[in-house]
Structure 1
Amino acid sequence: MATIASVGSYQVPILYISYDSMLEPLGQSQVLAYLKRLAVGRSIHLISFEKPSDWANLVERERIARDTAAAGVVWHPLGYHKWPSALATAWDIACGIAVGLWLVLRHRLRIVHARSYVPAVIALVLKRLTGVRFIFDMRGFWADERVDGGLWPRDGRMYRVAKWFERRFLLAADHVVSLTHAAVREMEQFPYLKGAMPPVTVIPTCADLSRFCIQAKPDHEHGFVLGYVGSAGTWYQFDAVVACFVALLKQRPQARFLIINRNEHDYIRAQLTAGGVSLDLVELRAASHAEVPMQMARMDAGVFFIKPLFSKQASAPTKLGEFLGCGIPCLANRGVGDMAEILEGEEVGIALDDFSAESLRVGVERLVDLVANPHVPQRCAAVAEQFFSLESGVARYQRIYGRLGG
């Protein structure tokens, strides 16, 4: 895949490496949204890895090319390879190193910003070869996520190799970006970082609050709408979400459940039925990322439960900032990043200790009381601005670049 776009001459250009596709919603909301703002006053070279199915979409490909070029981002899309897994990833890494090395030497790049672990391998090699400054934007404890998700055994070779690389990343990084303070506290306990802790900045997963903002709510025929947005599998305890709605019905019999999900509808219906919820009380629909704020405007409260596993200490769910930006209080759980501290400490939601029937009953009761408070929507929006503003995240990245000579 060829380089797309060109920019004028800017000082101290930066190489940003993402293993996520720019042709998918995640890459657009969590990479390009930042880079378009960070490229003001400096050029940024972006290496991404694009899946063949996404690359085949010529219209979307050309749209992203125009957007990146207009923002001053030079996009270098490479092909993503999936099978066989380890060899395919090794090939992608080799391609990334080759292109990255050429870019560093050709454009005299000073900083390589690696988003997560696979790009960090590329960045580490480039640092060893050229002396560039290395930002490890870790996005979570990736190796532990593979174990917690059942993909790797904890005593397996892949896990040991990934943790070996994690150690090298943290020791070699000129700056580390973490999604949560909880993850930083955990890293401070790593024996090999005693006396060698790199500079760390916490930048949670941010939301575009110009889109996720308070909107006029439509009149509800049924009085209370509980909302759920996003995936229902893997890390999420959707059975507990169903039990939460059952508890809500006992307090608000006319309540309805609005679920926004792209491709797990059969699973969600099965969980609702197994939990004793009539599908007549549920609206289950798909929505594009652009449509989500409009659907959130219909909700009175949000709910989501994430398995409180070790790796989740480093997670910052995107949906939390989006819900709060829309003025919607949330019911969630403890053991996931900084979520409980924000919800309870800022009085914009409820964080459960467990999923027992009594905890759910009390949690739902407290949530209903929050929704009844007319000051809560503005409080939620203010907290979103404080913790999850895209502009705030960009400003923190700019300060990191500045400290590293960018």
Structure 2
Amino acid sequence: MPNNKIVLYLSYDGLSDHIGQSQVLPYIVSCAERGIKFHLLTFEKAANTAKIQKIQELLDRHGIVWHRLEFTTGRSIRYKVQDFRKFVAKAFSITRRHRFAVIHSRSYIASCVGYLVSRRFKVKQIFDKRDFWIDAVVETGRLKTSGLPHGPVYRGLRWFERNLFEKSAHIISLTHRAKEVVLEKYPHRKAGDITVIPCCVDLSLFDPKAIPAPETEALREKLGLQGSTVFGYVGSIGVAYMVNELLACFKAIKAKVPDAKLLFMVNNDREEVLRTAESAGIPRTDVVVTSATRAEMPLHISTLHYGLFFITPTFAKQATSPTKQYEMLAMGKTLITNAGVGDAEKIFGELNCGYLLPATNAAEYEKAAEWAAAQTPAPRTYDLSNYSLRFGAEHYFQVYQKLLSE
């Protein structure tokens, strides 16, 4: 019989990754402090080995058992299949030994593994779906819908997806819009079967009151931003992020706000970012590229006056909840971004937190630039109680309690 006090948490993302640090560990630790017992099974990258010991010590202090597998680097689908097999074998092995009551599977790969384990051992599964991942990898060209080896993988993933939405004991969605999409497609599911928990922000870390003004000014000076109106981009530059559109918008803003500078806080190659900006007609003197650890992010965000980012508004991105958005809001920044992504319209309507472009084109960039030129940059305070780690942890705890008591 299952042990009603233990949850198996599956994640293909590692706890030592940025996403694991911000969107997995805090919730797990908070729920463990309130009595939920966990085993974790995650994939960790060799490059993050230095972080492992500190994480292990934190988990040990809270009685959390951590099982680790090594992530296979490389984008080939063959490597992903290899990791999937290792994932299934390990998940079956530890479930056979411990007979967990609930399997919490984070995102699609882990959820496919969780589905196989949950059916074999008759364990309740939480499908923590994040975005519409299959659609996302198809939209970005990482997975094709036909041909070898992509076709069979695609059809297999769709089979898993259908069963996950139909048979999981509970579903977690990042956005209200994605919840609506799921309920439309699977009408037998009830609204109570799906809990919306966005990517939440740690308000104790991203706290503008904890950043002395002289430190902000010192960093601005170090980065060459003193005396400028700073528009900032936070996070990696990838295929889903509309960098060319962002640069075109900034160029329009620069024409209306002459002292504007664009700060990229990214892990991408600095020279590559500068060349991309230059090719868009933005002088290198108007662009600053830097990087920061998670602990350094609040100070770096404090140097901004506006957050500026665009995300491709595809079907999959209806389910996206950008962590960078809430981190910048927590630091009191005004945002300029595009509509059609996740719950953007709902959030901007509730918080009145900046300028939301209905489309990304020259006419809209001009309007955004006119809006920015009419503003007086100043720190703002937003009610982020529904986007805080406390909110997220409480809702995860409620889901666990419900499933463990049934």
Q: Specify if TM > 0.5.
A: yes
1:14 matched to which residue of 2?
7
Partner AA of 1:402 in structure 2: Q
- Residues of 2 paired with 1:67 and 1:340: CA distance? 38
- Residues of 1 paired with 2:97 and 2:112: CA distance? 21
Bigger drift between 195-204 and 83-92 goes to 83-92
Asked if the contact 1:352–1:359 (Cα under 8 Å) also holds between the matched residues in 2, the reply is yes
Give CA-to-partner distance per residue, 1:323-358, whole Å, 9 cap, x none: 101000110101111023212442102111122222
- Residues of 2 paired with 1:18 and 1:371: CA distance? 44
2:30 matched to which residue of 1?
37
Where does 1:165-180 land on structure 2 (aligned, <5 Å)?
Answer: 165-180=160-175
Asked if the contact 2:4–2:100 (Cα under 8 Å) also holds between the matched residues in 1, the reply is no
**Structure 1 residue 397 and structure 2 residue 396: aligned?**
yes
Partner AA of 1:100 in structure 2: A
Cα shift at 1:87: 5.0
Asked if the contact 2:12–2:109 (Cα under 8 Å) also holds between the matched residues in 1, the reply is yes
- Residues of 1 paired with 2:369 and 2:180: CA distance? 31
1:27 matched to which residue of 2?
20
**Structure 1 residue 271 and structure 2 residue 294: aligned?**
no
- Residues of 2 paired with 1:365 and 1:231: CA distance? 28
- Residues of 2 paired with 1:86 and 1:299: CA distance? 39
State which of 137, 147, 151 in structure 1 corresponds to 2:138.
147
- Residues of 2 paired with 1:274 and 1:168: CA distance? 47
2:62 matched to which residue of 1?
71
2:123 matched to which residue of 1?
132
Q: Which runs of 5+ in 1 are unaligned?
A: 1-9
Cα shift at 1:86: 4.7
- Residues of 2 paired with 1:83 and 1:232: CA distance? 18
- Residues of 2 paired with 1:105 and 1:275: CA distance? 57
1:348 matched to which residue of 2?
353
State which of 27, 43, 51 in structure 1 corresponds to 2:45.
51
Under a length normalisation based on structure 2, what TM-score does the superposition of the two structures give?
A: 0.88
State which of 197, 200, 203 in structure 2 corresponds to 1:203.
197
Closer/same/farther in 2, CA of residues 84 and 267 from structure 1, 3 Å limit: closer
- Residues of 1 paired with 2:350 and 2:336: CA distance? 14
Aligned with 2:398: secondary structure?
helix
Aligned-CA RMSD value: 2.2
Bigger drift between 148-157 and 266-275 goes to 148-157
- Equivalenced residues, count: 386
Closer/same/farther in 2, CA of residues 223 and 82 from structure 1, 3 Å limit: closer
Partner AA of 2:115 in structure 1: L
Partner AA of 1:203 in structure 2: I
Aligned with 2:203: secondary structure?
coil
Aligned with 1:330: secondary structure?
strand
1:96 matched to which residue of 2?
87
Asked if the contact 1:329–1:370 (Cα under 8 Å) also holds between the matched residues in 2, the reply is no
2:230 matched to which residue of 1?
225
Partner AA of 1:377 in structure 2: R
Q: Which runs of 5+ in 2 are unaligned?
A: 218-224
1:4 matched to which residue of 2?
none
- Residues of 1 paired with 2:342 and 2:269: CA distance? 25
- Residues of 1 paired with 2:347 and 2:323: CA distance? 14
Cα shift at 1:399: 0.6
1:317 matched to which residue of 2?
322
1:377 matched to which residue of 2?
380
State which of 71, 82, 105 in structure 2 corresponds to 1:80.
71
Cα shift at 1:370: 5.2
Closer/same/farther in 2, CA of residues 164 and 368 from structure 1, 3 Å limit: farther
Partner AA of 1:20 in structure 2: D
